[in-house]
Every structure is written in C-alpha cells, then in structure tokens.
Amino acid sequence: MDFNLDEFEIDDITPAPKKKRKADGGQKGKRGERELCKLFTKRFGKEFTRTIGSGNRWSQVASMPSHAKATFTGDICAPEGFLFSLESKNGYEDKVDLSNVFASKNKTLDGFLKQSVKEANDCDRLPMVCWKRKRKPWIAFLRSDDLDPSLDFDSYMFYWNWTVVSLDKLLELPDDFFFEESND
C-alpha cells in the first residue's frame, strides 16, 4: 500500500508555550518612584512626591520660570531647599550589569547619569540617581566632586567621576548634607 503524505492533514495537538508577560516599564518606574518618595519622606519628615508626568514633561517644563522648573524637574518633587535633583531608576536588570562596568562603560547607565546632570543643571541642583534592581537595596550615584572628601562610607565604588553608595548609608548623613541652610 502506498501512502501519499500530502493527502493527510496533521494537527499540532501540543499546547502552545505560554509567553512570558513582559513587565510594564512605566508601572515599574512609577512603583520605584513611589517607594523612593516614601524613603525620603520617612527620613526627613517632609513630603517627597512623584513629579507630575515624571519623565515626559521636559518640553513643557523648559519654558517655565525657575521656581517651577525646580519643582517639576527630576522624577521626585522635593521640599524647598533640597539640594538634589532626584532621578529614580527601577529595574534595568537586562541593561545594566555593574560587574561589566570594570571592563567598559555602560551606555544605559551613562544615559541615566547624563540625564540627571542635565536636569540638575536646569534647576540649579546637584544630580543624584537612585537605582534599585529587583529584590536588591537602593543605591545612589552622586558626582564625586559634589561630595566632601571627609565623608566616610563603609563601602562605595567609583564609576568614572561618580561615587556609588548604598542609599540607606547615604540617608544616615545629617540633614545639612541634603538641604541648604535656612534663614529661619
């Protein structure tokens, strides 16, 4: 008996593999910003909030007066007198691997730092990038030139002209590190 395989119809009865759902980056970013706001609010007893439309308002903010720029620049809206423009980064596990920065620069990380410097300059503040990976503690990137050399962190690393420290350790510094002197 001769079989002609073209005459048979074969159905695939194996179940299709479930596709991994990709996390919504926008939601992850907002979640990180809210978490960062809670940390800063708890530490200083002053309200830190997400900047309205964080990450997508610069064309609107650019033409605002300086006092409004200071409020709407960066990811976090800080209380008056706060010296830093805060950028929040949450995730990026597949884009930034700190073990690889010893061999070369990291384009994604360099983009974060460049963005923070631009926004800090636009509102006359110092740049700070706070970054959290999944199930890891927050770390902070500050320009080394903005730090007093007498500061002593238990552990830190340098990334080009940036100092990278545990955010928890950074938040142990006195208030005058974070706020300009008030004339009250």
CATH of the domain at 49: 3.40.1350
**Residue 96: its pLDDT value, please?**
75
Structure-model confidence comparison of residues 81 and 72, the more confident one: 81
pTM of the model: 0.77
Tokens 């997508």 found at: 56
**Which runs of E-coded beta strand occur in the chain?**
49-50, 76-77, 84-90, 126-132, 139-143, 156-159, 162-166
**Which of 29, 42, 40 is CA-nearest to residue 75?**
29
Nearest 10 degrees: Cα torsion 126, 129, 130, 131 = -170
Structure-model confidence comparison of residues 70 and 131, the more confident one: 131
Residue 171 maps to a domain: yes
**Residue 27: its pLDDT value, please?**
73
| H runs (alpha helix) in 45-106 | 58-61, 66-72
Residue 93 maps to a domain: yes
Residue 5 maps to a domain: no
pLDDT band at 107 (very low <50, low <70, confident <90, very high): confident
Structural domain containing residue 95: 30-178
How many other CB atoms sit within 10 Å of the CB of residue 158?
9
Q: 153 near 173, Cβ under 8 Å? A: no
pLDDT band at 69 (very low <50, low <70, confident <90, very high): low
Residue 14 maps to a domain: no
Number of domains in the chain: 1
**Residue 126: its pLDDT value, please?**
96
Residue 9 maps to a domain: no
Which amino acid is located at 145 in the chain? D
Q: Which two tokens stand for residue 137?
A: 């503690």
Query: What are the backbone dihedrals phi and psi of residue 86, each rounded to the nearest 5 degrees, phi first?
Result: -100, 125
Residue 23 maps to a domain: no
Residue 16 maps to a domain: no
Top-confidence range, 13-17, 20-24, 105-109: 105-109
Report the alpha-carbon distance of residue 54 to residue 68 in Å, rounded.
Answer: 14
Residue 60 maps to a domain: yes
